[in-house]
Amino acid sequence: MTFRYIGSKSRLIGQITAHMGRPEQGAFFVDAFCGTGVVAEAAADLGWNVRINDSLHSAVIAAGARLISSNQAPFKKLGGYARAIAKLNAAKPKQGFMWREYSPASMDACGLERRYFTEENAARIDAMRALIRAWAESGTIHEVEERLLIADLLGALNRVANIAGTFGCFLSKWTSQSQDKIAMRCRELKATGVCVETTVGDVFDVPNAAQDLVYLDPPYTKRQYASYYHILETVALGDEPVVEGVAGLRPWRDLASDFCYKSRALKTLLRLVSGLKAQKVLLSYSNEGHICMQDMKTEISKIGKSTMHALGTIGRYRPNKIASRSASDVNEFLVVVERPVAQPLWAQPTTVKATKPILVESYYV
């Protein structure tokens, strides 16, 4: 995604890549909470195979699009990528779901004027999304091309959304960019393809092996991504959920993240890290997060050798101007966890019987 995303590491990418090292043959960089995919892209640029995962489809589509190469998306049946984008920009506006729920036309449907998009832009989003679906269903584009176009549409709609950074709510007054006509753009595709695996799901289900490098960037505040980015998710999925409230939220509670609850965050993180098979794990966190950095360090050191690196500041998420003035910057940290090299069973001490099953499993990978 080319836009602001809570917790995006785009400003810290140089410092994070400094800890990635060189990939071993067949090893994957596993970006298990990929968000925008900026970190996975940097790993791919270093030669890693990458596996990206997020609980949101929209995040995985946007992150995956950063890794697509031009030969993977030739748009042969449409005369090329630029032609496909031009056709989408010229699509006749359609009064569909986005228009009905997220533009002032929502007044008729629910008695509320939701000002996420002007009526014209919302109807254009409906038309673009419908055309992408029609092309996919008729075989005019294949799956990689479809995902690329959806990601481009997410970027375009974000540029004209009448919001203050997230889709948690719309602004009451129209911003000047929200008045612009929505326009999709071609992005620069990668010159060569990289090996990419994508999954959408809970972080606990992401495959990883001993030689992989797992990168964990969990949410660290109570802000639930599934509700803050609900419109992106709806466009990514192309569905028409029953939405509710002033903000028109799609049902999101089944995607609520344990990392967003102060009472569960540390326990969940420790369960996650100790269950990983990878010998090296990079973990991003902030000193403004639910987990106190010192407590984290103490507990993570019990799992493996850990070092903590201060990475400096990223812009704080600021819901309004007053919060913006009073906010100090967030300090970001990278914790590097390294676990001992796996020992074959015959080399382990006899006390291995006392080892929990999850650790025994890690010796075999």
Ligand X SMILES: C[S@@+](CC[C@H](N)C(=O)[O-])C[C@H]1O[C@@H](n2cnc3c(N)ncnc32)[C@H](O)[C@@H]1O
By the criterion CB under 6 A, which residues form the site for ligand X?
5, 7-9, 33, 35-36, 38-39, 54-56, 59, 202-203, 217, 219, 225, 257, 259
Judged by CB, which is closer to ligand X: 39, or 163? 39
Q: How far is the CB of 169 from ligand X (least distance, A)?
A: 18
Judged by CB, which is closer to ligand X: 39, or 148? 39
* Residue 336 bridge partners (DSSP): 282, 307
Judged by CB, which is closer to ligand X: 11, or 87? 11
- List CB contacts of 136: < 8 A, sequence separation 6 or more: 143, 146
Judged by CB, which is closer to ligand X: 36, or 103? 36
Q: How far is the CB of 34 from ligand X (least distance, A)?
A: 6
Judged by CB, which is closer to ligand X: 60, or 163? 60
Q: How far is the CB of 118 from ligand X (least distance, A)?
A: 28
Q: How far is the CB of 264 from ligand X (least distance, A)?
A: 11
Judged by CB, which is closer to ligand X: 123, or 296? 296
Judged by CB, which is closer to ligand X: 36, or 234? 36
* Residue 312 bridge partners (DSSP): 332
Q: How far is the CB of 330 from ligand X (least distance, A)?
A: 11
Contact present, 279 and 246 (Cβ < 8 Å): no
Contact present, 9 and 39 (Cβ < 8 Å): yes
Q: How far is the CB of 83 from ligand X (least distance, A)?
A: 30
Contact present, 265 and 292 (Cβ < 8 Å): no
Separation of alpha carbons 141 and 309, rounded Å = 45
Q: How far is the CB of 306 from ligand X (least distance, A)?
A: 19
